[in-house]
Amino acid sequence: MTHLSRPPFALLGALILACLTQACATKEKMEGLYTLTNSNGMRAGIIAYGGALVELTAPDRSGKLSDVVLATDDLTGMKKQTAFFGALIGRYGNRIGHAQFTLDGQTYKLPNNDGANTLHGGPNGFDKQIWSAEPGSSPEGQTLTLAYASKDGEMGFPGALSAKVVYTLTSHNELKIDYTATTDKPTVVNLTNHAYFNLAGEGDILGHEVMINGDRFTPVDEGLIPTGELKAVKGTPFDFTTPTAIGARIEQDDQQLKFGKGYDHNWVLNKTDASLTKAAEVREPKSGRVMEVWTTEPGLQFYTGNFLDGSITGKGRAFNRRNAFCMETQHFPDSPNKPDFPTTTLRPGQTYHTTTVYRFSAK
């Protein structure tokens, strides 16, 4: 097991140089930081704690590379922060209402860590675990394979779950994330990544222009649990079917925006199967950076950093409200309690597999 010391990113220069001369990702032995690079100079930094993405550089329209994700400066900060910066989320991403669900007639009680609800797998979810890590390569680019074995009953979830996540940084400036899992008992699973993006590199994200390929979203109650309705976005502040600045309507007098203190909702993507399709696109006008989100998942949680308050710091600055956005590809929140939502049940003999791609370019 490796541990990060202060600061974990100070040796990036040496890591990058090593990566350029090797065919696979490199690991700095003392720091526990793995760095993937591609031929275009992009790099992705990932740590074993929480499988967290702590650095991701992307070029602007002039070719300048900047880090576009938020992270703290050391492992101590990562453990203290409660914003899930860049972490792998499980066993169940997003919220489960009243911290319980029923599967095959049996009710499972979960620890509540978000009011009366369970958020992102509970207080000791996959984001708080040390994942085994194996750097490597594929025809697409450098890879990092992470694995975690979740015990039966961990955080109240049934079944021993074997989870594997592969990060790949491709030559097409894509960060590809493949998730797989198997179980020995019926369970529920909904894995995702909780990266916080800012395509300008700093400042607020209100000027970022967003398109989401979803004609409906799942309205929530005051506790941010879906009501079960699939509501049309047309005529609401949730209509991002054409590119719209995040700040254009975020302060409108809308009950759903008040519940989330901004956008913190799941969009129902316009798709009928589990093929890899484009879910969203974000453009930052000043830098020209563009991020496309492609996924096999049916939903996308769009969150605008509404609960960041400056108390978490990293990379030379405090992270204030709306300094970043998240696009968490997923099944819908509270699906185990919503039989009309796409199922998140995984049974023995089945393999859970999803893919998400964050593709970067500049215009």
Closest CA to 343 of 187, 224, 232, 209: 187
Q: Check whether the bond before 7 is cis (ω within 30° of 0).
A: yes
**Residues in Cβ contact with 214 at an 8 Å cutoff, skipping those fewer than 6 apart:** 233, 240, 241, 267, 268, 269, 270, 279, 300
**Residues in Cβ contact with 105 at an 8 Å cutoff, skipping those fewer than 6 apart:** none
The pLDDT-based confidence of 25 (bands split at 50, 70, 90) is low
In the chain, the percentage of residues whose pLDDT exceeds 90 is: 89
pLDDT, one tens digit per residue, over 215-239 is 999 999 999 999 999 999 999 999 9
pLDDT score of 165:
98
Query: What mean pLDDT value characterizes the chain?
Result: 92
First to last CA, the chain: 42
Buried/exposed 16-34: b ≥16 CB within 10 Å, e otherwise: bebbeeeebbbbbeebbbb
pLDDT score of 31:
52
Residues identified as active-site: 194, 328
Report the distance separating Cα 177 and Cα 167, nearest Å.
Answer: 5
Closest CA to 168 of 32, 54, 40, 24: 24
The pLDDT-based confidence of 30 (bands split at 50, 70, 90) is very low
Burial class, 187, CB count within 10 angstroms (exposed 0-12 / middle 13-18 / buried 19+): buried
Report the CATH number at residue 31.
2.70.98.10
The pLDDT-based confidence of 32 (bands split at 50, 70, 90) is confident
DSSP assignment, residue 287? Answer: T
pTM, full prediction? 0.92
CB atoms within 10 A of CB 214: 23
In sequence order, the β-bridge partners of residue 188 are 345
Number of separate domains in the chain = 1
Q: Is the confidence at residue 82, as pLDDT, over 60?
A: yes
pLDDT, one tens digit per residue, over 328-359 is 999 999 999 999 999 999 999 999 999 999 99
Q: Are 281 and 291 in contact (CB under 8 A)?
A: yes
pLDDT score of 17:
34
The pLDDT-based confidence of 96 (bands split at 50, 70, 90) is very high
Range of the domain at 265: 1-363
The DSSP element (H or E) to which 18 belongs, if any, is helix 12-20
